[in-house]
Amino acid sequence: MLFPTTDFAIFFGVVFIGNWLVVPLARTWRVLILVASYVFYAWADWRYVFLLAASTVATYLGGRLVDRAPTDRGRRGWLVATVVAQLGLLGWFKYYGFVSLSLDNALRALGVHGTPVPLAASAALPIGISFYTFMGLSYVIDVYRRSLRTAPFLDVAVYQSFFPHLLAGPIVRGSELLPQIARSAQRDPRRLDLTEAAFMIFGGLFKKVVISSYVSSAIVVPVFNNPSLHSAPEVLLAAYAYSVQIYCDFSGYTDIAIGCAKLLGFEFPQNFDAPYTARSLQEFWRRWHMTLSYWLRDYLYVPLGGSRGSRSRLYRNIMITMVLGGLWHGPAWTFVIWGAIHGVVQCAGHARRHLRERSGRPALADTPVARWRQRAVTLSVVSLAWLFFDANSVHDAFSLVSRLVTTWGQPAPLVRLPVVAVVLGSLALQYVPRDWRGRVEARFVELGSVAKGVVLGAALMVITTLGPSGVAPFIYFRF
């Protein structure tokens, strides 16, 4: 069920009313939200509700077994068993076909011909599996670390399936959502920040339906689907346009999810913080898909050793984290290469700083010109890496890179002023000071009820008028 649809509007309206009618009835509320979330998930394919249920049971039982184990060895054993079970479900449905076919191709290259058994290669990927699996893992690991207490089964089930975040995040941790679920009966509809929720939802709709859809159809899809037909200027513009598309698509989903959660009385963590203003890839990952970045940091990078130890260990930890982070996005070598690019560039940055320190040279001057140069370089690296992320295959990705290098001077009919203006304008908006939005919201709050309705109605009319007749699924639905 897509957010920008009539189906979801009706669904959410019913859930919204039911949510606030049964606030004092804690158990009834949990059952209501759990059923609503499973209906929401089943809208795409009802068969996968059993997979979500299996993941939830594994999360709950794993947490209980880890918590009740009498010895540290037993706790570690149950933790490992739960992690294996969760990753086993994820690996079977998401990666079995990729591994099977990759292994078969490697053997064929060596002259060994066998019969692959890609049982899951043609199966549809369960939507949201990467997100709710990581949520389940974080819950059990936090219980193991004694930073989170175990929760009742219904609370865990609602935590893992809560429909606003179910399909594409944000990856909400147990420490962030479970206490809110436990206090659900204390929510007061009179304390809702309706203005903030409206701004999040309508802003997310505009980013997804208008901006993301426009740049996708105008430049990204034509270039990425047929690399050999396009010149270097078109490929370059498509790379920056895809940066805008995926940001508006994914942050748009997140904004709608956060806004819907607010209307139900819950707070989700922010997932984006003007990522294209970053001055380095390290900063980019502190601003982009922040709930995934912090998950990888806390549950993978730091346990590997983080920045402790030798430089070779640091580089190893960065590369493992980035490559596995790339693979998390999908079972394809394009994602592996994308993650590796981010890892290599980050390692190069660390090596560069170390060489300057060892040679006794001063740190680079922090001037306005230097800062803007760093931002431009970071944006360019991120945008060029997106060529691999969105390419249909590794061959297409390298074809895009080749065209970018060799086809300057050829016609570029897709490089049109409206597309360039939308791309540049969308990137420029990331530099708008935060307090400006606060001022706009404050002015909106001062309006009367009728005026607010007129403003929201006009915004919805603009979105539906400028948007396409049908809205494509969100990009991160396939992860």
Q: At what angle do helices 333-359 and 311-328 cross, to 10 degrees?
A: 160
Catalytic: 289? no
The DSSP result for 369-428, as a single string, is HHHHHHHHHHHHHHHHHHHHHH-SSHHHHHHHHHHHHH-TTS--TT--HHHHHHHHHHHH
- What is the sign, positive or negative, of the torsion defined by CA atoms of 389, 395, 400, 402? positive
Tokens, residue 178: 């479970």
The active-site residue, picked from 165, 230, 329, 342, is 329
Distance CA 250, CA 474 (A): 7
Tell me the residue type at 85: A
Burial (CB count within 10 angstroms: exposed 0-12, middle 13-18, buried 19+), residue 192: middle
Q: What six digits make up the tokens of 332? A: 């394809």
Per-residue tokens: 386? 């997106």
CA distances to 75, 269, 370, 437, 450 from 433, rounded to whole Å, are: 48, 20, 20, 8, 29
Residue 164 contacts residue 113 (beta carbons within 8 Å)? no
Active site residues: 329
